[in-house]
Amino acid sequence: MNSSVIIFPGSNCDRDMDVALKKFGFKNKMVWHDDDKLPKSDLIVLPGGFSYGDYLRCGSIAGKSKIIQSVIDFANSGGLVLGICNGFQILTETGLLKGVLQQNKNIEFICKNVFVKINNSENKFFENIDKDVLELHIAHNEGNYFCSEGELKSLEDNNQIAAYYCGSDGKVDDKSNPNGATKNIAGIFNEKKNILGMMPHPERMIDQSLSGEDGSIFFENLLRNLK
Partner 1 sequence: MEVNEKIAVDHGLKPDEYKKICDLLMRVPNLTELGIFSAMWNEHCSYKSSRLHLKKLNTKGKKVIQGPGENAGVIDIGDDDAIVFKIESHNHPSFIEPYQGAATGVGGIMRDVFTMGARPIANLNSIHFGSTQHKKTKNLLRGVVKGIGGYGNCIGVPTIAGQTCFDQSYNGNILVNAMTLGLVNKNKIFYSKAAGINKPVIYVGSKTGRDGIHGASMASAIFDDKIEEKKPTVQVGDPFTEKLLLEACLELMSDKSIIAIQDMGAAGLTSSSIEMASKGNLGIELHLDKVPCREEKMTPYEIMLSESQERMLIVLENGKEDSAKKIFDKWNLDFAVIGKTTNSKNIELYFEKEKVANVPIKFLANEAPMYDRPWKKTKLPQKIKFSNNDFKKLKFNDVIKKMISHPNICSKQWIWEQYDHTVMGDTIQKPGGDAGVVRVHGTKKAVASSVDSSASYCHAHPFTGGKQVVCEAWRNLVSVGAEPIAITNCLNFGNPEKKENMGEFVECIDGINEASEYLNFPVVSGNVSFYNETKDKGIKPTPTIGGVGLIKDYKNLMTMKFKSKENLVLVIGKTEGNLDQSIFANLILDERKGPPPEINLFNEKNNGETILKIIKEKLALSVHDVSLGGIMIGALKMCVAGNKGIKFYKFKNLTNIYQYFFSEDQGRYIIEVDKNNLNKVESILKKNSVHFDLLGETTDKEIIINDEPTFTVDKVTEFYKGWLYKYMS
Q: Is 180 in the site for partner 1 (CB under 8 A)?
A: no
From 112, 118, 47, select the one nearest 84 (Cα to Cα): 47
Catalytic residue among 93, 135, 142, 203: 203
Number of residues that bind partner 1 (CB under 8 A): 31
**Sequence-distant (≥ 6) Cβ neighbours of residue 190 within 8 angstroms:** 75, 96, 97, 160
Asked if 191 and 158 touch (Cβ cutoff 8 Å), the reply is yes
For residues 41 and 102, give the distance between their C-alpha atoms in angstroms, rounded to a whole number.
31
* 210 contacts partner 1 (rule: CB under 8 A): yes
Can you tell me the distance from the alpha carbon of 62 to that of 120, in angstroms, rounded to the nearest whole number?
Answer: 28
The reply to whether 56 sits near partner 1 by the rule CB under 8 A is no
State which of residues 78, 112, 128, 174 lies at the interface with partner 1 (CB under 8 A).
112
Instruction: Give the contact letters, 10-49, x = binds to partner 1 (CB under 8 A), - = no.
Output: x-xx-xx--xx-------------x-------------xx
Element housing 226 (H / E): helix 214-226
Residue 9 near partner 1 by CB under 8 A: yes
User: Considering only 63-71, 144-152, 157-165, 198-206, which stretch makes contact with partner 1 by CB under 8 A?
Assistant: 198-206
Q: Which residues contact 117 (CB under 8 A, 6 or more apart)?
A: 132, 133, 163, 164, 165, 166, 170, 172
CB-based contact 116:136 (threshold 8 Å): yes
Choose the stretch contacting partner 1; rule: CB under 8 A; options: 94-102, 135-143, 155-163, 187-195: 135-143
CB-wise, 9 or 79, nearer to partner 1? 9
Establish if 137 lies at the interface with partner 1 (CB under 8 A).
Answer: yes
Q: Which helix (H) or strand (E) holds 220?
A: helix 214-226
> What is the binding site for partner 1 (CB under 8 A)?
9-10, 12-13, 15-16, 19-20, 34, 48-50, 52-55, 108-112, 137, 139, 141, 201, 203-204, 206, 209-211
Positions marked active-site: 85, 201, 203
